[in-house]
Each structure stands twice: as structure tokens, then as C-alpha cells.
Amino acid sequence: PGAKADPGSSSDKTFEMPKLRSTPAKAPESNAIGGNASPVPTSAPSAPSATPGVPSKASGVATVDKPAGTVTFSKAELAAMDGSSGIDMERKESYLSPGEFVEVFGMERGVFDAMPLWKRQAAKKKAGLF
């Protein structure tokens, strides 16, 4: 009639958290006041093989061998050019003659250059020179 609970049953057990390993103390970081400066690495980190935006075969950016203002192209020629053409691909509009610039963008170069970047990019996209 008065059955005792089994000492091995789950109702009598209490859960005990497992002991965690202690982590080793961190070395003190250097500060401007207290000293304890950590040693400075003797070797500088190596440069990446391809720096973004810098002309090289690894980066995929072509060298500009025809600076803006030294030569002019028509809008059709500029629209067909790719990165291997030797022009500054981010400034295709600067290779247009003054007359064709006004014809393509409907404004003088100075007015265009004074516009915010987003407006210039939108105008270049509309003209097919982006």
C-alpha cells in the first residue's frame, strides 16, 4: 500500500550543472598611460595580390594610356569601348568633343561637372556612356 519511490527514479534526482573549464587569463592590453605595451610585430602584413581599383592584370582594371582631354571619340565609339581600350572608363564623357558633349547631354561640360555625382551617373546611363 505505501510504496516507496525508487531511489533511482527521475523524480528524486536534481539536475546539477556541469562544471565549466576556466579560461586562461588574457594578456593585458597596452594602454597609453600604464605601459605594459605588447610587442610590435616586426613584419608588416603582406599586400594583397590585387588591390581593388589599381590597374593590374590581377585587379582587372586596365591601365589608362589615353588620358582624358588628349583624344576625342564619338558617342558611338565610346559606347562600344571596353576596359581594354586604354581610356578612363569612369570618365567616358570627357572624351567627347565640346560640340558633341552639348549634343549628348544638352548642357556645357562645366554645368555637367557641377552636378552631383548621382545626377552625372544618371545622365551617363541615359546617354549609354556608363
> What pLDDT score does 62 carry?
61
What beta strand segments (E) does the chain contain? none
**CA distances (Å), origin 116, targets 35, 41, 113:** 49, 44, 8
Are the beta carbons of 55 and 63 closer than 8 angstroms?
Answer: yes
Determine the Cα–Cα distance for residues 9 and 3; give it in Å rounded to an integer.
13
**CA distances (Å), origin 113, targets 13, 71, 84, 122:** 79, 19, 25, 13
> What pLDDT score does 50 carry?
45
Sign of CA dihedral 78, 84, 85, 88: positive
What beta strand segments (E) does 7-68 contain? none
From first to last of its 130 residues, the chain has per-residue pLDDT tens of 555 555 555 556 787 777 777 777 666 555 555 555 555 555 544 544 544 455 555 555 567 777 777 788 899 998 888 878 888 888 889 899 999 999 999 999 999 999 999 999 999 999 998 8
Determine the Cα–Cα distance for residues 73 and 92; give it in Å rounded to an integer.
9
**pTM confidence score:** 0.51
